[in-house]
Structure 1
């Protein structure tokens, strides 16, 4: 089979008669080998080539599907478990009486790959005509381009995972695949939001938004089918609190000599503005860091940033895995910028500090966006880094300070300052032992601490705020007290936020939660409180929406570090202390 593909031109699929004969004898365990062989052989250089490879993969793997231990199911039965049953039935017409939930799940992901590839190509075409577009439109399309290519990678990873088993996955792999499929939906929603906000007057906008909304239905179906077929069957149990002190021992005095003593770290570089270190900018140190390292072999690559104010926009890309950045402390090592939506940036790319590299750890840093309340959305940190950890950091801004965009994230002993929706996004996020400081907003505005962005009931995302302190920042505390502060509001239809075991000062409005617009998401969102304290924690006058709940310990366990972000599987290696349970 390898020789067959070599004989074809590098950017063309093999002749159909060759594929037909190949499909007749293909055996499923060889599917992934074939897939990777195709990648190496074609030596792809363009998105068009990517489309070709996915098309070949779809044909090969569909023909290679074999019987499973699951009982056969009709599309009408299987599709009832998805948010879009009618769409599912017309999209996944398997004419095979022995088809199972696994077959439908694989087919849905394969079709998702095709849709994502087509959308990515369309964005490339629009950007090829960028001279005729406004700056805002170009920036929104560039966000969509980046996110579309990320989705293609995620989908191919998801398919590789489900294609290796006929039955259930391990709990870890199940959580992984649910996480990346959840992120795919988040990425497409982010693209839509950027176009609606920054390209509102673009005449071709609907030509981009309409297809991606349809693609989102397909991604939602894929997520639902994977959850049903391969979903984790584990039960959530409260864990005895676990505290790891690997980094805590050096939190007071971080320096070159101390860094060399941290377990689990490999090479280190020093950033110092006075020239005494290896680099004078953080960006240069990140560029120097090795790509795609493994923590089990090389340990973390440590970037120690000495005290100073660094006026630069930091972007840690996906290939800079297992990077640890340590500063000299809050208000000592400061990274600052001032991009905002008012100045033409998308919310997505207004951030001072962006990280998408998996297994990232930050400690003892202050990250600021100084655009001010008048510039509206202006992000300090945007994290789309899976299994990322922030310890003893401060995030300072006004509207949209902390953008926990996607995947799994943990924040411990951090400070967050802001006004409107200042903790937002659609990651699976736990903030533990943090200080949340609502600031004084513009006249006529109210404060909303959270604006969680879950759009689908199958997503494993949400914001859990545990053992935190919520108090007014100095400017709000010194004001006349007329500013209303809410715990959150439903940004998206299935918004999910939980406050547990936290102190709420008197600044929190008795109603607790605010609407977004009319009755939007009041029935479908999930807002919960458990065992909080302080004058703002009284739930007797809280909103009476169907989506609001005062929960018990059994329910609260699902939103702990162990239950919500599977922290026991990855936080130990960071050295950051954490409480696994309640």
Structure 2
């Protein structure tokens, strides 16, 4: 009965979410700090209290009524989000022409969070009610809920993080957004804790020992296509010399998107061949483009290059040379590069906020924030990632296998940090796992190794999680291994681990003595193998 009550409070929460959303009025489009502060205080006072006593629902009928009531509230949530987005657009009038604004990110992120919460409630509808009154999830349901709810929380923080790099007079606006949007963040976290408290069917809880080096959700045909770059059908070809259908990658993406809408085919994979050349453009794969594949002529021949960055007015999220939001995206034989340089601070080469995304034989080249593993499950095999500060970062469940990870020369006075993982809730099943890879200095850094230390990572959020296992680590890595982010922040709550690494930089005797750092045993490493971490077919 206790589990029943826990899940029912989820739906009670959704009603609270709508009540709070409707009652919190949108702030006026004004720059008066006092007005902003009063609006913030009012909004914060109306946030739901998640410490409420659990209701005493007695049977499945009451459970169904609560679920139906919660679902009936979604139009109110949608209305609130539309109003909030309208306010975002109003604020865009204040920005400099041509600058990418944090409000652009928020328009997308808020809508995505609501969609993910809605999808989670639909999954809860399928939760089974046993004869003894116990609710249980199957393994697929649990994976889906963890994916969706972790992403919903990450989206909210991405919206807020975008204001970090704007002018000082935007701070009050960020406070307003925090007051409104943290309702979504807390709600998704509440549902996430319930997800992880529910029983999973015993037949599906088995921990799988180390095995294949591909996730199960990649079919044999997809693996072959990635390995050999030999798709049976190509739906569009890009070539700079006019030998293809399009001269830019973006034009090909837009054309294929139209094909997808005109001739929808559930589960069909669409392929874009990108011939050798340097394509100087920013490319976005939207959320509605599922199962898209990019096939290049090799990472030394096909390049997609741009240079958007935070210093010149972009947000980190929108600085990406290529941004992928469509689930099931695959790429092989391509270099994704942000050429902004170290002086431009955050400048992303590849951002992925899509589930079941996989990259084989690709390069991600940049300086600060090269590879943004934003959210959902991601797999990188035989890739090269090159950068300086936090150059693999985000809150996906990301697995890097047989990759080359290379530190470059940073700005004067900077230290290199390979990872900055963004897990902010202990119930999130996210993290960065690096296995059977090579960590070393890029050629340009080899003459400066004694002047520039590189670290395996530093905590971006409170429950940051990174595991480096069976990897060759050169002496480019500082003996301490890991670096503090902001004093004592997260040192007791993070989860940083190493297992069976080799090389001059792999010795753990001098590693940090934080409560959150550990050297794993054979048993402890099992949850971080490929299949157990990201590998199910769901």
What range is the shorter-chain TM-score in? 0.7 to 0.9
The equivalent residue for 1:556 is 525
The equivalent residue for 2:434 is 465
The partner residue of 2:387 within 411, 418, 423 is 418
Cα separation, partners in 2 of 1:306 and 1:494, compared to 1, 3 Å:
same
The equivalent residue for 2:55 is 94
Cα separation, partners in 2 of 1:93 and 1:286, compared to 1, 3 Å:
same
Cα separation, partners in 2 of 1:135 and 1:560, compared to 1, 3 Å:
farther
| Separation in structure 2 between the aligned mates of residue 463 and residue 178 of structure 1, nearest angstrom | 16
The equivalent residue for 1:383 is 352
Q: CA deviation at 1:109?
A: 7.5
Q: CA deviation at 1:519?
A: 0.3
The equivalent residue for 2:23 is none
Tell me, yes or no, if structure 1 residue 174 matches structure 2 residue 136.
no
Tell me, yes or no, if structure 1 residue 131 matches structure 2 residue 89.
no
| Separation in structure 1 between the aligned mates of residue 161 and residue 527 of structure 2, nearest angstrom | 30
The equivalent residue for 2:126 is 164
The partner residue of 1:155 within 114, 117, 131 is 117
| Separation in structure 2 between the aligned mates of residue 101 and residue 478 of structure 1, nearest angstrom | 69
The partner residue of 1:141 within 103, 108, 114 is 103
Question: In the TM superposition, what are the counterparts of 1:440-459 in structure 2 within 5 Å?
Answer: 440-459=409-428
The partner residue of 1:240 within 202, 211, 223 is 211
Tell me, yes or no, if structure 1 residue 283 matches structure 2 residue 245.
no
Question: In the TM superposition, what are the counterparts of 1:26-45 in structure 2 within 5 Å?
Answer: none
Bigger shift: residues 421-430 or 158-167: 158-167
The partner residue of 1:186 within 154, 161, 167 is 154
The equivalent residue for 1:6 is none
Per-residue CA deviation, residues 368-402 of structure 1 (Å, 9 max, x unaligned), is 00000000000000000100000000000000000
Cα separation, partners in 2 of 1:72 and 1:344, compared to 1, 3 Å:
closer
Q: CA deviation at 1:288?
A: 1.7
The partner residue of 1:259 within 210, 214, 231 is 231
Tell me, yes or no, if structure 1 residue 271 matches structure 2 residue 238.
yes
Per-residue CA deviation, residues 41-88 of structure 1 (Å, 9 max, x unaligned), is xxxxxxxxxxxxxxxxxxxxxxxxxxx895656999999xxxxxx932
The equivalent residue for 1:486 is 455
Unmatched 5+ residue regions in structure 1? 1-67, 80-85, 261-265, 571-582
Per-residue CA deviation, residues 242-265 of structure 1 (Å, 9 max, x unaligned), is 5687567677875xxx433xxxxx
Cα separation, partners in 2 of 1:533 and 1:121, compared to 1, 3 Å:
same
The answer to whether the Cα contact below 8 Å between 1:431 and 1:466 also exists between their aligned partners in 2 is yes
Cα separation, partners in 2 of 1:199 and 1:115, compared to 1, 3 Å:
farther
Q: CA deviation at 1:481?
A: 2.1
| Separation in structure 2 between the aligned mates of residue 175 and residue 105 of structure 1, nearest angstrom | 24
The answer to whether the Cα contact below 8 Å between 2:100 and 2:313 also exists between their aligned partners in 1 is no
Tell me, yes or no, if structure 1 residue 207 matches structure 2 residue 176.
yes
Bigger shift: residues 303-312 or 270-279: 270-279
Q: CA deviation at 1:458?
A: 0.9
The answer to whether the Cα contact below 8 Å between 1:315 and 1:354 also exists between their aligned partners in 2 is yes
The answer to whether the Cα contact below 8 Å between 1:175 and 1:232 also exists between their aligned partners in 2 is no
The equivalent residue for 1:326 is 295
Secondary structure of 1:346's counterpart equals coil
Q: CA deviation at 1:211?
A: 2.3
The equivalent residue for 2:282 is 313
The answer to whether the Cα contact below 8 Å between 2:6 and 2:194 also exists between their aligned partners in 1 is no
| Separation in structure 2 between the aligned mates of residue 249 and residue 73 of structure 1, nearest angstrom | 45
Bigger shift: residues 414-423 or 97-106: 97-106
Bigger shift: residues 190-199 or 332-341: 190-199
Cα separation, partners in 2 of 1:149 and 1:273, compared to 1, 3 Å:
same
The answer to whether the Cα contact below 8 Å between 1:119 and 1:212 also exists between their aligned partners in 2 is no
Q: Which has the larger radius of gyration?
A: 1
Cα separation, partners in 2 of 1:232 and 1:429, compared to 1, 3 Å:
farther
Q: CA deviation at 1:558?
A: 0.7
With structure 1 as the length reference, what TM-score do the two structures score?
Answer: 0.77
Cα separation, partners in 2 of 1:329 and 1:211, compared to 1, 3 Å:
same
Aligned residue pairs total 487
Tell me, yes or no, if structure 1 residue 341 matches structure 2 residue 314.
no
Cα separation, partners in 2 of 1:103 and 1:532, compared to 1, 3 Å:
farther
Q: CA deviation at 1:407?
A: 0.5
Per-residue CA deviation, residues 156-184 of structure 1 (Å, 9 max, x unaligned), is 11111112334423211220111101100
Tell me, yes or no, if structure 1 residue 118 matches structure 2 residue 80.
yes
Cα separation, partners in 2 of 1:108 and 1:342, compared to 1, 3 Å:
farther
| Separation in structure 2 between the aligned mates of residue 133 and residue 305 of structure 1, nearest angstrom | 35
Secondary structure of 2:507's counterpart equals coil
Per-residue CA deviation, residues 130-172 of structure 1 (Å, 9 max, x unaligned), is 3245569971112111100111211111111112334423211
The answer to whether the Cα contact below 8 Å between 2:99 and 2:314 also exists between their aligned partners in 1 is no
| Separation in structure 2 between the aligned mates of residue 220 and residue 136 of structure 1, nearest angstrom | 36
Unmatched 5+ residue regions in structure 2? 13-47, 130-135
Per-residue CA deviation, residues 317-347 of structure 1 (Å, 9 max, x unaligned), is 1111111110000120000000000000000
